[in-house]
């Protein structure tokens, strides 16, 4: 069982963009499928606010309950300003 945040996937964005491309949407669906198979898992999103919002919205549309998505500084802080959103997981409380 996961007792702390663990990196699961990274989604990358084009410069000055908050749009997820088709390959990224495949990853979003994989994350949603993982979440649905593991209902106690919480999803953490770390990155710039606009990009985190884009990923969160996509996950919700893919079926992840908003109540299971958290945002914050969970990942590698040295990468937090890059063109990516880190997706992390941990067991729910």
Please name each of the domains of the chain with its CATH number.
6-91 (3.30.1330.60)
pLDDT in tens, 36-57: 999 999 999 999 889 999 999 9
Q: What share of the chain is helix, strand, coil (3-state, %, to 5)?
A: 40, 25, 35
pTM (2 decimals)?
Answer: 0.88
SS3 41: strand
Angle at CA of residue 22, ends 58 and 28, nearest 5°: 35
Using the predicted structure, report yes or no on whether residue 68 has a pLDDT greater than 90.
Answer: yes
- How remote is the C-alpha of 69 from its chain's centroid? 8
**In angstroms, rounded to a whole number, what is the distance separating the alpha carbons of residues 76 and 27?**
20
Q: Residue 2: what pLDDT? A: 45
- In this structure, the chain runs to a length of 93
């Amino acid at each position: 069982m996961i007792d702390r945040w663990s990196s699961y996937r990274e989604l990358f964005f084009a410069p000055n963009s908050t749009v997820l491309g088709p390959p990224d949407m495949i990853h979003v669906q994989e994350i949603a499928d993982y979440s649905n198979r593991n209902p106690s898992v919480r999803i953490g999103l770390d990155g710039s606010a606009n990009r985190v919002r884009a990923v969160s919205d996509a996950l919700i549309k893919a079926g992840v309950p908003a109540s299971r998505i958290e945002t914050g500084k969970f990942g590698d802080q040295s990468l937090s300003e890059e063109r990516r959103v880190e997706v992390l997981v941990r067991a729910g409380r």
